[in-house]
Structure 1
């Protein structure tokens, strides 16, 4: 599945659009597969305890998706990293 990434995830992934092959069909599976393929993205998506950072956003189609939401075939996916700073 193709994922459009933003912010520092572009550097970690080497481009704006990347292919990710999750082992399951949920947003959580997608994030895990993305980090497995692009390990330098881990600190942008997960906190020190291994949980997904609260400010990480995944858009499936035109809606914000929760971690356990399924990603329907053919839906565009956008991944926004945690925002830092003040």
Structure 2
């Protein structure tokens, strides 16, 4: 399955588009496979307790997706990491 990654995830992958092989066809399965393939990306996606950071967004075929949503192998998946910084303005 191909993923498009944004922001600091690119420093972990070295590329904008990467491939993963999830064990299950859900968004959670895709994220697990991505973290397994690119461990440096984990801190951008999950909190210390292992939960997905609230500001992480995943889209499947252009629509925002929840962890338990289906994610077929031919889906267009994009992963937007937690963003930090800014001045609140």
Q: Does 1:27 align with 2:27?
A: yes
Q: Give the unaligned 5+ runs of structure 1.
A: none
Aligned to 2:82: 82
* 1:14 aligned onto 2:14: yes
| TM-score (normalizing by structure 2) | 0.93
Structure 2 residue runs of 5 or longer lacking an equivalent are none
Report the structure number with the largest CA radius of gyration.
2
What TM-score comes out, normalization by structure 1 length? 0.96
SS at match of 2:78: strand
The count of aligned residue pairs is: 86
Offset of residue 85 of structure 1: 1.5
Q: 1:33 to 1:73 in 2, by over 3 A?
A: closer
Runs of 4+ in 1 over 6 A off after TM superposition: none
C-alpha deviation, 1:73, in angstroms: 3.5
Q: Distance in 2 between matches of 1:34 and 1:62?
A: 19
Aligned Cα RMSD in Å?
0.8
